[in-house]
């Protein structure tokens, strides 16, 4: 059975489109189109972005987006879990302790690990990855702003539009800009008030 990459590549070639031409039409970076066509999913930002790219490319190449995404799900395999055998290096020797003492030590360890994660969350800025638009894109307003951040964050665009990501951290916002060169300021702020800011220059040619 053909993969989604083979189907999209064949459809692109049937229309005599180069990868760069398709990239210009869809505003998807050419390297991601090549990665999809080669089924090199490890070269894509995330599974969520991959699905968005596939839907966009499918619409441009007159393919059913839902069918293409279904084929992708069939073939996609997430990165394997860490080798569970590594845990053996962290086992405690309980030979000198009773079962009650061992349980107490484990409870204390879990408590401090939990505090460590909470402390890190308070101090760390949220992750923010923007898939669309790419820097220096030439676009027609309104534009789609798509990215991934932490699920507890609020997205602010040019100190104006606010949006919340879904349960996977993905967000998609349609935003209107005036004609001309401008810079998008996209900020993600988590519940602790920590924020990450990405600036993307774009040019709007019409509305």
Domain ranges of the chain: 4-75, 128-206
Q: Is 172's pLDDT higher than 80?
A: yes
Residues of the chain above pLDDT 70, percent? 85
For residue range 149-161, list pLDDT tens digits in order.
Answer: 999 999 999 988 7
Q: Is 31's pLDDT higher than 80?
A: yes
The per-residue pLDDT for 199 is 96
The mean-pLDDT minimum among 83-87, 124-128, 189-193 falls in 83-87
The Cα–Cα gap between 64 and 107 comes to 52
Instruction: Name beta bridge partners: 155.
Output: 163, 188
Instruction: Name beta bridge partners: 181.
Output: 203
CA 207 to chain centre: 28
For residue range 93-105, list pLDDT tens digits in order.
Answer: 545 556 677 777 7
Residue where the block lists tokens 């991934």: 148
Are 145 and 175 a contacting pair, CB within 8 Å? yes
Lookup: tokens for 161: 């539009």
Quote the mean pLDDT of the chain.
Answer: 84
Lookup: tokens for 115: 């505090």
Are 142 and 205 a contacting pair, CB within 8 Å? no
**pLDDT band at 89; cut points 50, 70, 90:** very low
Instruction: Report the CATH number of the 128-206 domain.
Output: 2.60.40.1220
The per-residue pLDDT for 84 is 38
Task: Tell me whether domains 4-75 and 128-206 share a fold.
Answer: no
The Cα–Cα gap between 50 and 191 comes to 28
- Longest CA–CA separation in the chain, Å: 75
- Distances in whole angstroms, Cα of residue 148 to Cα of each of 49, 56, 129, 188, 201: 8, 17, 5, 10, 19
Model-level pTM? 0.43
Measured between its terminal Cα atoms, the distance across the chain in Å is 43
For residue range 53-68, list pLDDT tens digits in order.
Answer: 989 898 888 889 898 8
Residues of the chain above pLDDT 90, percent? 39
- Please compute the mean of the pLDDT values over residues 25-41 and round it to a whole number: 89
4-75 sits in which CATH class? mainly alpha
**pLDDT band at 111; cut points 50, 70, 90:** confident
């Amino acid at each position: 059975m053909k993969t989604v990459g083979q189907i999209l590549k064949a459809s692109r070639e049937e229309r005599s489109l180069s990868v760069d031409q398709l990239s210009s039409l869809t505003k998807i970076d050419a390297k991601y189109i090549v990665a999809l066509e080669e089924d090199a999913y490890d070269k894509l930002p995330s599974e969520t972005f991959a699905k968005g790219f596939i839907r966009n490319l499918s619409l441009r190449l007159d393919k059913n987006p839902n069918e293409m995404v279904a084929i992708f799900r069939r073939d996609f395999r997430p990165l394997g879990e860490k080798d569970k055998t590594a845990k053996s290096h962290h086992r405690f020797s309980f030979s000198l302790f009773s079962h009650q003492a061992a349980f107490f030590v484990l409870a204390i360890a879990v408590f401090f690990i939990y505090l460590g994660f909470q402390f890190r969350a308070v101090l760390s800025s949220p992750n923010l990855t923007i898939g669309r638009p790419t820097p220096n894109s030439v676009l027609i307003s309104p534009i789609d702003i798509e990215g991934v951040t932490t699920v507890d964050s609020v997205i602010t665009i040019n100190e104006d539009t606010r949006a919340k990501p879904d349960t996977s951290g993905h967000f998609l916002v349609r935003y209107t800009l005036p004609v001309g060169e401008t810079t998008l300021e996209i900020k993600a702020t988590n519940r602790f008030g920590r924020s990450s800011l990405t600036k993307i220059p774009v040019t709007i040619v019409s509305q």
